Structure 1
């Protein structure tokens, strides 16, 4: 193992470099500006039943936040108990001085209680800092329905060039932020533009890198609506993104006095020398690590054998060798790739004896925790065996690469049959069998398996079809165990935009009813042959759920049925109507109004009519606007303001 003295030397050397590199920024810092221009605020629509308790807990939480934010620029805190307990988070922009950060935070605390005096949750967004409190833990929440964009200033004289340049800039700062603990600034110029464009991206420090990326991508989409103007912001629960033709963040000056130049020169030379020393130490340590990993019984592959191969009944599947999988996939050739998602790439593999498999290469970081999570995921998937679940055959580990080996499901994923203009579209009989098979698979996961499992990402792309077009649920990358003694889990939001249940998207409260909601959205897609959102369609039809419900209320629901089905000579309209009603029951706003998946199976297989009539589902805008959410449904009212009489504000509340 590396010597403790080597570790200590590395730590002190890194600390010294950090101190040296901070000198230029400290010396060249511009004049104070607390950046207290308001970008937006939001209040929960729920008022407390005990105002005095809420106010006292909020005051105590804000006081605790103030103690830490004045020295670190970031803080979390909690105060009280029960429904009036207050969880708080505050964070300043990294480029603000601690004095400016304190001023910004103080202004935020004063303003938030004016806007939201007795609400159980609220947020205050200034250009320089962010403050939020809730009566539940939200620290790992990247997105929610209270997002917005703020557009300000004059239109660009060359809108197309300006828009393209801004797009490149935001992609650049987003990429830099992911490598720099969630914060980055940059500028970009283009021939034909009279000025440079400046950009800034910042995530809450409680987010993982993946969550930060998801948030900044969505913030970019929000900011895109401002690209015709010279200043815009994208705001979400976990991040802040802004561009402007004015340098709104602190930029180091290009000119400096001789004394400053000396300091910078000394710091640079010292840093260069230390980097050389660090490189030698790193190579030495790396050599020791390589020797250490060669010790018998210590490699990850051999660790995997302890977990999998040692099982006498081969309970967790076969441990494949990397060479055998590489040969089966022709060295993971692109022509063998059959899919790709947020968690990995999937390749078709053919063994020498003719057996066909699907090999999924996971995106996994190198760490003991990452390996433990990989082991847990394999065990979780292996624990669930059902005819409507894709079967896991085994796994493989090799250094940074973690591979899962599944049975090959030949007819690919459902989305490729639903949303493409195939020569032979799926018949209603086939679609009904897919709907029923998916329900069986989910009922098994949620209620019947010896481990209760929540899938969290039910969608058409994750439903595979076998030779007989029977449904098999796939991709358990987001799956969670659900203990029997718990009513819900509070966790980071995972899944796909449009399929996520409202209580999970907004509050991070996960139950098996979240899978039920996703299933309901999937069923509507299967019946209609279109995706949950299609921006190419006019506003009344853009969002599938809202459009379908409006037609249902008008007794015109068959207008939503896939036209390719209407052409069938014999169509069971009564069965289609029942399926649509079940879909609406699954997408009810209140989780307790949604049926269990076992009940869904019962309704699908019963010849009787559905007795429970669905009410208005969640996330529907009566006006059928492109935003697709009614503010009363999401529980947030967001008011965005800017200090300009020429400001144009656009607010977006979107389901995820």
Structure 2
């Protein structure tokens, strides 16, 4: 029978082995990110003549692909006979973990069928992976007519220097990729540029070196059109090329082997030190668990206090106690109040280290629903991370007082810039940036997040703006989490009248297209600079959606545009604005099935070639009388009113 000392030694050895085996993964990839951001997609112009055969064969091909891609990051497959044969290829970026690769592939598989349900061929391109199927063998194809580029982000302050530097970077990653089995990453800096530029090149593994070179050279020509902006992608049948001022990848081809060697040396030479650190960390975390309680318990005694702070933010070195938040907000002084949210007010706070925060103080009293909202926000937002979502930093509860702590948004909410009389007019470039950022955030919540989240209260007041006027969606108190196998939920209506989808407002039927409708209303507000309802205007203009649609039907949609924009920017991109208005009408269609997914909205916004479908008459419009604009819905249009 082993002695206690032997057991202790075996425990230490087990910890050591586990730690050493984990080191390479820690060195190479520090944080999971499946890179499920759509770069492009395409559908064949030919529909199948046998939908059942296509669906079945495609399903089998996708199943075969997932078996290999989950272990190697790459797979090809074939299933079927004759004209119904389906060829498939899937490939992930080399820097993705297998778990992230599997997640990216799953999202691509789901999305490609939505975009192209009956086409004989299609492709889906995310930043992290690529999926394609055809009824012919295409594995050695480097180029085709479906190539494109995607140009986003702000313009460089020094366009000539930025363009020259980016050109050198892409030539370098192309050269390295040809020597590294079709994949390479690199970065470059230049005097005069405020940030480094990062580049990535990847070819399909089925291409020869020569074919890879041909594809990458053409991708560079495609992406050259983006060089005035800080982020661009070149996409072709056989390759993916990207540059950005943001570090969007986790390893470089030149550093991979070096990192592995470092990991081995650390494991071999530093074992004793690491074990000691692990033991200290274990004790430290064990102590913290007694202090941090991440989900408040409504059954706690009235004066008890529960609080926590995010443990992955270096500036938050202690949890948020009630006293610390009260001090940060000057005892919740009216001068620190910056807004109102569901069930309470929002205050600006300044922590002892100078960090600015936003504190949402819920007015709970005995409201069980308010307690439920608090728990919902804590559980949801603490688990959700996206650049277009406001981050929850922590929470605190003392008795019936419930506090949520968010990152502070210096430019406040969108409504204050659109509707306030003293507001400085937002440029069209900024407005489009907000429209696109909001779409990205909703696409993540509705489709890409592990939990399908419906916000239910998307409106201008819940779109916050950071230092660079990037949009961030806030206030998840009314969010609904959908199980993946449920298509809709009949529930008590929540949200703000005017932004609420008709099927939800009238029948209480909540679908994944409810947020899409709300988004369409926000887009019209951003374009026009006016609220969804304004009783001060003449009757035909009071309802924004009705007024804008009437102009659209008369081919006068540009008259919807905010007069301040027209006066301040005489060279507006009229074509882009009209496209955005058309997208808004597609989002506000009466039938949920006729509205696009938010991922499709993102694609429509960033594409310069995609042909948009023509919208039909939006919901909640009735020409018969002003009092009957809502049809059968017995709901009054009142500014700012909420359905509770």
Between 1 and 2, higher relative CO (CA 8 Å, sep ≥ 6) is seen in: 1
TM-score where L is the length of structure 1? 0.49
